[in-house]
């Protein structure tokens, strides 16, 4: 069992997956910083100086000046401002990933055609075949 595990863990796909996971976490942190420090402040300013992360509904009987102080005190509340920030972060991250995948897919070269169809039996054969292996018909070789 140990040998199988070592073989599994040393395969290239597992290493690539681990690197991709670490890169995704770092990329997520960069996007979260972009949202929290670059995008949300102007939006909050445009909406009258609102800091979304401080929006909450206090469910406890005690008043707190901010959501941070309410959380520090362990007060019950619905912290919807932080949820809004998380949703916006997700949407921006999803959009950026969409753009990356779209750019990657547009730069992939088209695969060259390597097969053709036999006009007699309709089986798939190599493009350079001069005779069909299924029906043995003689074919014109494309030049």
pLDDT, tens digit, 9 for 90 and up, residues 30-84:
888 888 888 888 888 888 888 888 889 999 889 998 888 998 999 999 989 889 8
**What is residue 59's predicted lDDT score, i.e. its pLDDT?**
92
Share of the chain above pLDDT 70, in %: 94
**Band of the pLDDT at 139, cuts 50, 70, 90?**
confident
Task: Using the Cα atoms of residue 32, residue 87, residue 45 and residue 58 in order, give the sign of their dihedral.
Answer: negative
**Band of the pLDDT at 110, cuts 50, 70, 90?**
low
Whether 52 contacts 40, CB under 8 Å? yes
Mean pLDDT taken over the chain: 85
């Amino acid at each position: 069992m140990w040998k199988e595990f070592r073989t599994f863990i040393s395969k290239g796909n597992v290493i690539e997956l681990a690197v991709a996971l670490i890169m995704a976490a770092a990329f997520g942190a960069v996007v979260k910083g972009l949202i929290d420090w670059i995008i949300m402040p102007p939006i909050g300013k445009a909406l009258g100086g609102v800091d979304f992360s401080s929006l909450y509904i206090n469910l406890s009987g005690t008043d707190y000046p901010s959501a941070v102080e309410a959380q520090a005190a362990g007060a019950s509340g619905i912290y919807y401002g932080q949820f809004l920030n998380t949703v916006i972060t997700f949407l921006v991250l999803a959009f950026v990933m969409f753009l990356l995948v779209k750019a990657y897919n547009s730069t992939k070269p088209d695969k060259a055609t390597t097969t053709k169809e036999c006009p007699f039996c309709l089986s798939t054969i190599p493009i350079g075949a001069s005779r069909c292996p299924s029906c043995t018909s003689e074919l014109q070789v494309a030049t």
